[in-house]
Amino acid sequence: MTPPKVERFEDGFGWKAVAGAIFLGFIVNPATDYLSLVIGGEAGISGAMKWVMIIFFAEVAKRSFSVLKTQELYVLHFMSGAALADPFTGYLWTQYVAQSEYVQGLGLAAELPRWAVPRAADIQAGGRTFMTVAWVPIIILTLFGQIVSRIDNYGLGYVLYRVVSDVEKLPFPFAPVGAAGIVALSTDRGDETVWRWRCFAIGSMIGMIWGAVYVCVPMITQAILPKRVEIIPLIFIDFTQQVSQLLPAVPFNIVIELGAFLSGMIVPFWGVVGGFLGLVITMIANPVLQKMGVLSSWKPEMGFIDASFANSLDFYMSFGLGLTLAVTFSQFFIFLSTTITNLMKPKSRELSHEPRSGRRFGEVWKILVTNNAARGDFSIFIAIAIYIFSTASWVALGAYLVPGYPWMIMVFYGVIYTPLISYATAKLEGICGRAVNLPYLRELTILLSGHKGVDIWFAPMPIQNLGGETVGFRILELTGTKIISQVKTIILTLPIVVVASFVTSELLWRMAPVPSSAYPYTQRMWELNLRGWCLMKTATLEGGSQILEALHLEYAVWGFVSGGTLFAILSALGLPIMLVFGAVWGLAATTPGAMWCTMLGAFVGKFYFKRKYRDMWLKYMTAILAGYGCGMGLASMVAMAFSVISRMLSPTIW
C-alpha cells in the first residue's frame, strides 16, 4: 500500500468529527469505564471501540445517503484512541489507595504526597466526590499533563518519522494493516458493504446477548434483590485450593469470557500457543519449586490472590525481571540483525547517489528541511522545539514538586537516552514492525538515585520511547490525511474528554463505593493490585522494604537464562517468532486466567473458520469483534442506567 497522489491529501476534520467526539465522550467512555470496574479490562472492549466508531459511523452515513471519506474515517479512528485515554479514570484507584488499611499499615499513607494522593481524612470528610479542595492540586496536575502530552505528540516522534520514512524510505510493514481497514470501509465496493454490515450486526447481537447475561443480570439483580444473581461467574472462578492437592503452589483460576474467546481468533496464533506452553511450564515448575523450598510462603489454605502474591515475592518477581531482560536482549538482537542485513542490501545505498559522506549529508538535510505541503508537513525545527519544551516541562515540574529530584539524570534521559531508544524503535518499526525497550528503567533510576521518600514515584520523568509514534504518522500518510486533521481533532477532543471523564468518574463513585460489590472486578482484584503497587513504593522508605527483600539475583539469572535459551532454541528450529515471545510471556504470566478461552478461540479460528473462509476470515472477525464491543457497550449502558435510576429512587443519599 502506497500513499495517495499529492492532490488527494485532504483535511478530514468536520462536523462529523464533532458528533463523533460527543458520541465517544458521553456514550462510549462511560460504558467502557463501567465495564472496566465490573468485569475488568480482559474483555478487550477498549481496543474494539476504534472499529466500533468507524463501522458505526460508516454504516449510518450510508443509510443517510451520505459518504464518509477516508480522511473523515481516519479522524474518527484517531479520535477513538485519544478519547479512550480517560484522564480521570485513575482517580477511583487513587481514592482507594488513600483509604486503604493495607497502605496505612505499611506506613505509606503518611508519606504519600498531597499533590498526588489526598489524605484519607479529607476524602471521608468530603464524601464520595472529587469536587473538594483536597482534589484541586491533583486535578491541576492532571490537566497540565494532558496538555503537555498532547503537544508532545508532534515532537520527537514526528522528527523520527521524517527521518525513517522520508530519508531512509523504510516500508513500515504493519502500518498498511490499519490503513487498509480504514480505506476499505470508506470505499463502496458493492458486496463488501453487505458482508461488513452483516458481520457487525452478528457481533453486536452476540455482544448484547452475552452482555445481558454476563453484566446486566448481576448488576440489575443486585439493585433489586438482597443478593446478586450470577448466571456466569463474574471475574474468575478460584480453583487454587482444589488444585493444590495435586499441584502445590499453583494459583489456578478460570475466567469465562467470550471476549477472550473472540480475541483468540484474531491475535497471532503462534503467540497464543507460545503463551499457553509457557503457562504449562510454570504449572509443572511450581510444585518443584515449592518442594525445593523456593516458594516457601505458600500455604495450602491460600486462595488465588494470596498464592499469586506469595509466589511473586518468593520467586516470580525476580524471575520475571530476568525474563523481561531476555526479551529485551532478543529484541536488540533482532534490531541489530535486521539493520545489518538491511545495510548489506544493495538497495540500501539508493538514497545516496554519491559515495562522499558530505554529499550524502547534504542530501539528507535537504530532505528533512523540505516540507511536503500537500501532506501538511511542518518544520522539524518546530518539532524539536516542542520536544525540548515538553522535556524541560517534565524536569522543571519534577524539581518543583520533589525536593532532591535527580534532575541531572533526567536531563541525560531527555537529551541522550530517549532520542536513542526512540530511533532504535522507529527503525525497527519501519523494518519489521517491532519495538525495543529497556525494562524497569524508571524503577532502577529511582532506586539508584538514593532518594528517600515516596514522592519520587509520582514525579514526572522524561523517560520515553517515542519511536512507536512513527507508525501512526505512516498510517496518516497512507490514508491521505493532512496532519492538521490530527491537530484539530486533539483540540476538539481534549476538553470533551476531560469533562466527560470527570463526570463519569464522579458518577460511578457516587453510585457506590469503589471497590464494592457494585463493581465486582474491583472487589476481587484491586487488593492484589494494591499489594503489587505498594511493593515498589516501600523501596525508598527508611527501614525494611518488601521489594528489596523479594529481589533475588540468582532467580533473575534463572529467568534471563531460561528466556534466552528458549529464544535461542526456538529460533534455531526456525519456529515463528511469535511463538518465542508468546512462550516467554506465558512463563511470566504464572496464572491461567482467560488463557483457556483465548486458546480455544485460537484453535477454533485457525482450524475451522480460517479453513472455511480463508483470506476473508480476518476481515470478518475484525467486523465481528467491533460489533461485539458495541453490543457489550450497549448492554453495559443499560446496566449502568438501571443502577443510576435505582440509586436516584433510593431514599438513601449518595
Residues 507-537: tens digit of each pLDDT: 999 988 999 888 888 988 898 889 888 888 8
Is the pLDDT at 189 greater than 60? The verdict is: no
DSSP helix, strand, coil percent of the chain (3-state; round to 5): 70, 0, 25
pLDDT of residue 116: 93
Find the angle CA(36)-CA(40)-CA(46) to the nearest 5 degrees: 55
Predicted confidence band of residue 86 (pLDDT cuts 50, 70, 90): confident
Cis, bond preceding 515 (omega within 30 deg of 0)? yes
The cell for 198 is: 452483516
The cell for 59 is: 454504516
DSSP state of 65: T
**What pLDDT digit, counting tens, does each position of 470-517 carry?**
888 988 888 888 999 999 998 988 898 899 899 999 999 998 899 988
- Report how far apart, in Å, the C-alpha atoms of 13 and of each of 19, 90, 124, 477 are: 11, 30, 44, 15
State the chain's maximal CA–CA distance in angstroms.
Answer: 83
Contact 555, 319 (CB under 8 A): yes
More confident residue, 21 or 583: 21
Contact 629, 49 (CB under 8 A): yes
Residue 303's nearest CA partner among 238, 353, 348 is 238
Angle between the N-to-C axes of helices 45-63 and 70-83, in degrees from 0 to 180, rounded to the nearest 10: 150
Residue 73's nearest CA partner among 28, 10, 29, 27 is 10
More confident residue, 337 or 350: 337
What's the gap between Cα 189 and its chain centre? 33
Q: What are φ and ψ of residue 593, in 5° steps?
A: 55, -125
Predicted confidence band of residue 76 (pLDDT cuts 50, 70, 90): confident
Is the pLDDT at 49 greater than 90? The verdict is: no
Residue 490's nearest CA partner among 9, 147, 88 is 147
**What pLDDT digit, counting tens, does each position of 147-156 carry?**
998 898 899 9
Predicted confidence band of residue 545 (pLDDT cuts 50, 70, 90): low
Tell me the C-alpha distance between 144 and 126, whole Å. 24
pLDDT of residue 193: 55
Q: What is the mean pLDDT of residues 155-167?
A: 89
pLDDT of residue 559: 85
**What pLDDT digit, counting tens, does each position of 407-465 carry?**
999 999 999 989 988 888 888 788 766 676 777 788 888 888 888 888 999 999 998 88
Q: Please list, residue by residue across 208-219, b when 16 or more beta carbons sit within 10 angstroms of its beta carbon and e when fewer do.
A: bebbbebbbbbb
Contact 597, 260 (CB under 8 A): yes
Task: Pick the range with the lowest mean pLDDT from 44-53, 376-385, 446-455.
Answer: 44-53
More confident residue, 50 or 225: 225
pLDDT of residue 389: 95
Task: Pick the range with the lowest mean pLDDT from 82-96, 173-187, 253-267.
Answer: 173-187
pTM > 0.85: no
Percent of the chain with pLDDT over 90: 19
- Report how far apart, in Å, the C-alpha atoms of 589 and of each of 271, 282, 284, 547 are: 13, 9, 14, 19
Predicted confidence band of residue 115 (pLDDT cuts 50, 70, 90): very high
More confident residue, 187 or 125: 125
SS3 of 481, please?
Answer: strand
Report which residue type is found at 528: L
Is the pLDDT at 347 greater than 50? The verdict is: no
Q: What are φ and ψ of residue 217, in 5° steps?
A: -60, -50
The cell for 155 is: 515532537
Task: Pick the range with the lowest mean pLDDT from 223-232, 380-389, 534-543.
Answer: 534-543
